[in-house]
Structure 1
Amino acid sequence: MKKGLINQRQRGITLIMSLLILVMITILALSVMHTSVFEERMAGNTRDRALAFEAAEYALREAQEFLSSAVLPSFTATGGESGAYFKGLDTSPSGQTEEDYWQDTHDWNTKSVAATEANAVLSGQAQPRYVIEEYQTVSCAGGSVKWPPPAPKTIYKITARGQGRTTEAVVILQAFYDRGCS
């Protein structure tokens, strides 16, 4: 009779050990699954951010190409004809930083130019946009007795905004453009 009692106890312990091992394997599998889902999201966010950066860079390059034109439109406090060519733009109307202004305050829909060259490259993304600010002219050194000094040069600041496939992925790039002395 003792022998049968021991066999029953061993079967009970085997069942309990099997259940414990099964629970541990389930917890491990859930942890691995959670980690892989988290890594997948991180990779997607990184890709979306890279797409936003590329879009902003397209807009920046298009604005630089625009500034290399022989004739430029007038730059005004209200943005000129297109609403995107400013002179004396106040980027801290309520005391915020310039970064906050471009992220939160500036109206990118009406006070910017859409970069049209990026149409064929970007798919599923909002059109990248840019704004150009004209800074004060700077006199150019030089000249001689025979030739007059060159005309002053104008410096421009370009602010470009690109968005990835989601609205959370936004990149804003800025660059200065010097038209040089003529």
Structure 2
Amino acid sequence: MLDCLGAKQNGATLAVTLVLLLIVSVLGISAVQMSLVEEKMSGNLRDKHIAFEAAETALIRAEATLDEILEYSTPTYDGSSGIWIYGGPGGINWWIANSDSWWVANSESVVPNSLQSSAPQYIVEERAVSQRGEDLKVGNGEIPQARYYYQITARGYGGSSDTRVHLRTTYIKRYD
């Protein structure tokens, strides 16, 4: 009687084993694919951080350059004085719209580190001037000295030239 029961179950074990093997294989392949996607994501995030640090370096360099200027320099539409007239580089979103070659030709560069694909760059624009004696409507007094407001736009690159970060800051400078 045992022989009859065993004869009926010969193929069932093989079928169940193959189905389980298929399920485990699908799970393994899915895990590998998820791992590859996560690796790409972490690589892109690292690249973005490198570009961000590069842009911050360019901002710091631009601020240091403005600190070193002792006398007021008249801004120009072509940036030949190192300072652009506000809106001189182009229209709305000019920092994105202008090409890489425009940035190379018209911006100031900072020495890159070995992780960056290109040198960080920056543009300085004069935004406004608050003349001596003007009232800012804040506090209880006049401006004792003229203040020049500069907008610094920096561009940093990551390990790939496709990874770019644009940062912007406003810098206030007084000339004696």
* 2:97 counterpart residue number: 104
Q: CA RMSD in A?
A: 2.4
Alignment gaps of 5+ in structure 1: 143-148
TM-score (norm 1): 0.79
How far apart, in 2, do the equivalents of 1:72 and 1:125 lie? 34
- TM alignment of 1:1-182, pairs within 5 A: 4=3, 6-69=5-68, 70-71=70-71, 73-81=73-81, 85-90=83-88, 93=91, 97-98=92-93, 101-105=94-98, 107-116=102-111, 119=112, 121-141=113-133, 150-180=144-174, 182=176
Give the deviation of 1:10 after TM superposition: 1.2
Alignment gaps of 5+ in structure 2: 135-142
Q: Name the amino acid aligned to 2:103.
A: W
Give the 3-state SS of the residue equivalent to 2:106 in structure 1: coil
How far apart, in 2, do the equivalents of 1:110 and 1:5 lie? 89
Q: Name the amino acid aligned to 1:23.
A: L
Identity of aligned residues (%): 28
Give the deviation of 1:151 after TM superposition: 4.5
8 A contact 1:150–1:181 mirrored in 2: no
Give the deviation of 1:75 after TM superposition: 2.1
How far apart, in 1, do the equivalents of 2:8 and 2:97 lie? 70
The 1:5–1:103 alpha-carbon spacing in structure 2 relative to 1, beyond 3 Å, is: farther
The 1:135–1:43 alpha-carbon spacing in structure 2 relative to 1, beyond 3 Å, is: same
Give the paired residue count. Answer: 165
Q: Name the amino acid aligned to 1:88.
A: Y
The 1:59–1:124 alpha-carbon spacing in structure 2 relative to 1, beyond 3 Å, is: closer
8 A contact 2:116–2:160 mirrored in 1: no
How far apart, in 2, do the equivalents of 1:42 and 1:165 lie? 14
The 1:9–1:126 alpha-carbon spacing in structure 2 relative to 1, beyond 3 Å, is: farther
8 A contact 2:76–2:84 mirrored in 1: yes
How far apart, in 2, do the equivalents of 1:126 and 1:156 lie? 25
TM-score (norm 2): 0.82
Give the deviation of 1:130 after TM superposition: 0.3
